[in-house]
């Protein structure tokens, strides 16, 4: 373990039949949840596109997830503005 890995959590997970050791600040349970969902998304995409190679499949998995992230971020920001409005009204 390198100097910079001190205090970090190392979790080994399997995604689409390959092993990955994830090093980070996230707990084991979070990393396993993430890995399970990436694996599930990959298997869902390959079912509809059986000729994809693994690299393209993984990129498309990242694309799907990023798309969901960006949409959720917009919803989150809207909620935040709405809360600020509610709090302002409550303060008036």
What does the binding site for its own copies look like in residue numbers (CB under 8 A)? 15-16, 18, 20, 22, 26, 30-31, 33-35, 37-38, 41-42, 53-56, 58-63, 65-70, 72-73, 75-76, 79-80, 82-83, 86-87, 89-90
For residue 54, the minimal CB distance to its own copies (Å) is 4
- CA 60 – CA 31 distance, rounded (Å): 20
For residue 7, the minimal CB distance to its own copies (Å) is 18
For residue 75, the minimal CB distance to its own copies (Å) is 7
Please identify, using beta-carbon distances, which residue of 6 and 18 lies nearer to its own copies.
Answer: 18
Phi and psi at residue 20, to the nearest 5°: -135, 130
Identify the CA nearest to 60 among candidates 79, 38, 84.
38
The answer to whether 37 and 64 are in contact (CB under 8 A) is no
Please identify, using beta-carbon distances, which residue of 7 and 56 lies nearer to its own copies.
Answer: 56
Phi and psi at residue 80, to the nearest 5°: -60, -45
């Amino acid at each position: 373990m390198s100097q910079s890995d001190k205090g970090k959590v190392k979790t080994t997970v399997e995604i689409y039949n390959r092993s990955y050791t994830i090093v980070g600040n996230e707990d084991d349970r979070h990393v396993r949840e993430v890995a399970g969902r990436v694996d599930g998304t990959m298997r869902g995409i390959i079912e509809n596109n059986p000729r994809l190679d693994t690299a393209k499949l993984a990129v498309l998995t990242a694309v799907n997830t990023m798309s969901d992230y960006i949409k959720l971020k917009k919803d989150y920001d809207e909620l935040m503005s709405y809360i600020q409005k509610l709090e302002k009204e409550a303060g008036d």
